[in-house]
Amino acid sequence: MLTRLAFIRRLRHATQALWGRLGVNSKLLLGSVGLLVCLSLLTYVAEMDDPAGNREYYGSPGMVIYSLLILVFSGFDIGMPGTALGRLGAIATLMVGVLLITTITADLASRAISHILDMQKRGVRRVAFGGHIVICNWSSRGKRVVRRFLDQADSGTQIVVVAHSMEPEMVHHPQVHFVSGDPTDEDVLSRAGIERAAAAAILSRSDIASSSSADAYSILVAMTVKHRNPDAFTCCEIRNPRNAKHLRLANVDEVVCSVEMGDAVMVQAALNPGLTQLLAQVLHSGDGAAIHRVKPRPEHEGLTVAELLPRLYLEHGCVLVGIDHPDRGGAAHVTTSLRPGDVIEAGHHLFVLSDGIPEGFQR
């Protein structure tokens, strides 16, 4: 007797421990299943001996499970029970069955969505789209850079960040995607869809103290990106301007030396009061007119700068500030020294100051 009581106590404790580990949905699921069984038995007992009962389906021991499944998934396709208590049990069974199916569907959907969000947060998903912008490395300025891209890039442009980690709130933006890993690893870049990317921006790693080491890492990333996608437009940030020549050898399209440009802005701002406010409006979207690189329209080809300047301002409300024309080797050459007699040719690009891309122009 004592042995039996001890077994019952252990069984009760084990059951309580197991119940405590279950989540809310699991408890609701088990409770619904138990309630369904009880209601099904209630219907069976009410119908089995009553002459008015529906014994064929509800009052037969072999049909209990069958009638339960029909009630849950099809309703009263097999007819209504004959007794009042049987009908009450059947209706309750149907309602609990609907609740059970809803709970299971919601739980599965919740788990699927959580799994997808978790994969995206951990950066293990493979990018399937193309025409996006890949940002390699994450620094203290990463969030601001991503927001600038979202503000100034074409509407709907997708951003893929390749780094070991990034700020969690950025992961949940519908246009921002995270791929975890080292951007010098070709497999990681492949998961980021670098082969189909339109552009790649390589940030200098702020967690590397040495400028030489940080630049060496950025150069290695740039070489890997260009190897995987030679056609992607690449922009790389470095700290030491002497390392720019190495990026040119790697065919990087744009090199940004934050230190050098910061020094130049400091000197010019000291000599020209108000320059920093002007640059802030030009560079920050939403604060005023910004600089846009656009292709000239077909009717503009063959015009001189002197002819094009007034047409751009009067017809499109923009100001020409520079021209990008390739040299004989195909490399870009940008000039802001606009001579009146210079002719706009096919293959040139215009840098214009305007509120958004002028109507009728393309990047």
Tens digit of pLDDT for each residue in 104-113? 777 777 666 6
As given in the structure block, the two tokens for residue 25 are 């949905």
User: 176-180 and 199-202 as β-strands: parallel, antiparallel, unpaired?
Assistant: unpaired
pLDDT at 23 over 80: no
User: Where residue 11 falls among pLDDT bands split at 50, 70, 90?
Assistant: low
User: Where residue 234 falls among pLDDT bands split at 50, 70, 90?
Assistant: very high
Q: Are 47 and 82 in contact (CB under 8 A)?
A: yes
Tens digit of pLDDT for each residue in 299-327? 888 888 888 888 888 888 888 888 888 76
For the chain, the first-to-last Cα distance in angstroms comes to: 88
Helix H segments across the chain? 2-21, 24-48, 64-74, 84-122, 142-152, 168-171, 186-191, 211-228, 244-249, 258-271, 275-283, 305-316
As given in the structure block, the two tokens for residue 77 are 């396709």
**What pLDDT does residue 328 have?**
47
User: 349-354 and 319-324 as β-strands: parallel, antiparallel, unpaired?
Assistant: antiparallel
As given in the structure block, the two tokens for residue 56 are 């064929």
Domain annotation for the chain: domains and CATH numbers: 19-122 (1.10.287.70), 133-262 (3.40.50.720), 289-363 (3.30.70.1450)
Strand order in the sheet with 319-324: 290-294, 349-354, 319-324, 334-335
User: 349-354 and 290-294 as β-strands: parallel, antiparallel, unpaired?
Assistant: antiparallel
Q: Which of 9-13, 98-102, 314-318 has the lowest mean pLDDT?
A: 9-13
Number of Cβ within 10 Å of residue 324's Cβ equals: 14
Average pLDDT over residues 195-217: 88
Average pLDDT over residues 153-157: 72
Q: What is the mean pLDDT of the chain?
A: 75
Number of Cβ within 10 Å of residue 345's Cβ equals: 13
